[in-house]
Structure 1
């Protein structure tokens, strides 16, 4: 086992067949986030309320399942806030795992490093809203230019990726979704996810999988999915 990596991990899902395309994966949840999206299901992670899982336990878990799983999804929280994320990705790849990263795109330099050093195999980036509504949806004031840089980076490098938007009728209109479709463009996958109620955000969501599937039919030249 290599020297311990100080990555704040607050949770673990042993097996997933749907979170990493073409892989049976373990999901690792990092702590901390720079957004405060009201529909978030991982608020204990965002606020670092969970006791971190020790690196030793993560190592033992993955070692015991190397013949079963072939990928690891790193999500959060926001993983790119962790300084030792590159070291952790390198360690996972050295163990033989493919690595998928979920990110909100606020750290384009970290994404650039991970791509250039071949430390990840797939990236799923959230686009929370059209640019003019980001502050409303994320409940933070953040330089939108950094998120735009991350979108451009993924598009221009051709790196395997998808974009994702969680949709709640209290936050985004169909017109907002149209703007996001055009931000992503015709050459990259955009997945729309219906926001589910949480103990902290119970406002009724008028979006359903069915009406979103009707919406994406208006854009036959675009790569759109509803999940």
Structure 2
């Protein structure tokens, strides 16, 4: 695993649990509003397996879960073995993913070692490439979400969430299309936009474009929940 950064303690990344976060390097998307842009490119600064093991063992009894984030973790060839390694240390494991590789999603959920998955839905299908880069595939994301819903129906101890950042240029009409493009999911979180500290020069205008406000979402909440009853803002 090309893990290049660690967060010792988080109250935000795993609902209801105190967790550590492992950040993988590399991503197949290029979202102009990405908050982890430093992780998008390949690099040789990977943290060793021994360092990660020591880091987690030092926190045993204090944290009870570990989140694998990125970048995009499903690009890592040894993702399943890494999940197993963390699980065997006694931690629950959550995966953050852009949902772009449903074939890997099948592999990791079939391992039975994941407790939670958060998958990002970036935009309505017609705008996916515009928001997440030319390689982004909205249909693959839909397939990943469907796989998670199906797995939760079979495994009572497993949870998942869909999350969408209210990124610049997304309008309330886009959010409405998005919630209609997926069957009702267990949890759908709308996240308020925060301007990234790092961005490409050519994206400076984009990151300053207007975005949907919480007030506007609140005004349309009943309509959005007609299609996604479990949708909330956080």
Give the alignment's TM-score, normalised by structure 1. 0.90
Structure with more of its chain in helix, by fraction: 2
Partner residue of 2:160?
A: 161
In 2, Cα distance between equivalents of 1:136 and 1:219 = 23
Does the residue aligned with 2:7 lie in a helix, a strand or coil? Answer: strand
Cα-to-partner distance string for 1:125-145 (whole Å, 9 max, x where unaligned): 011111111111112234443
- TM-superposed CA distance for 1:77, in Å, is 0.3
The CA deviation string for residues 136-174 of structure 1, in whole angstroms up to 9 with x for no partner, is 11122344432222122112222511001111232x111
Structure 2 Cα separation of the partners of residues 210 and 57 of structure 1: 45
In structure 1, the partner of 2:6 is 12
| 1:82 matched to 2:76 | yes
Paired position in structure 2 for 1:208: 213
Alpha-carbon contact 2:168-2:208 (below 8 Å) kept: no
Deviations 1:19-61 (A, max 9, x none): 1122110011100000000000101101135722222221111
Q: Is the 8 A contact 2:172 2:216 kept in 1?
A: no
Q: 1:197 and 1:163 mapped to 2: Cα distance?
A: 21
CA distance in 2, matches of 1:106, 1:206: 24
**Counterpart position of 1:223:** 230
Higher alpha-carbon deviation: 72-81 or 11-20: 11-20
| Contact 2:172 2:217 survives alignment (8 Å) | no
Residue 50 of structure 2 corresponds to residue 56 of structure 1: yes
Residues 4-43 of structure 1 correspond to what in structure 2 (within 5 A)?
7-43=1-37
**Structure 2 gaps, min length 5:** 153-157
Asked if 2 retains the 8 angstrom alpha-carbon contact of 1:163 and 1:184, the reply is no
Q: Report how many residues are paired.
A: 220
Q: Over aligned residue pairs, what C-alpha RMSD do you find?
A: 1.8
Long gaps (5+) in structure 1: 1-6
> For each residue in 1:54-88, what CA deviation from the matched residue of structure 2 results, as whole angstroms up to 9, or x when unmatched?
22221111011101000001110000000101000
Could you tell me how far 1:182 is from its partner in structure 2?
1.9
Contact 2:171 2:211 (C-alpha < 8 Å) held by counterparts? no
8 Å CA contact 2:125, 2:139 repeated in 1: no
The TM-score with structure 2 as length reference comes to: 0.87
Instruction: State whether structure 2 residue 101 is matched by structure 1 residue 107.
Output: yes
Is the deviation greater in 26-35 or in 8-17? Answer: 8-17
Q: Aligned with 2:224: secondary structure?
A: coil
Instruction: Quickly say closer, same or farther: Cα 1:143–1:187, change in 2 above 3 A.
Output: closer
Query: Residue 155 of structure 2 corresponds to which residue in structure 1?
Result: none
Secondary structure of the structure 1 residue equivalent to 2:174: helix
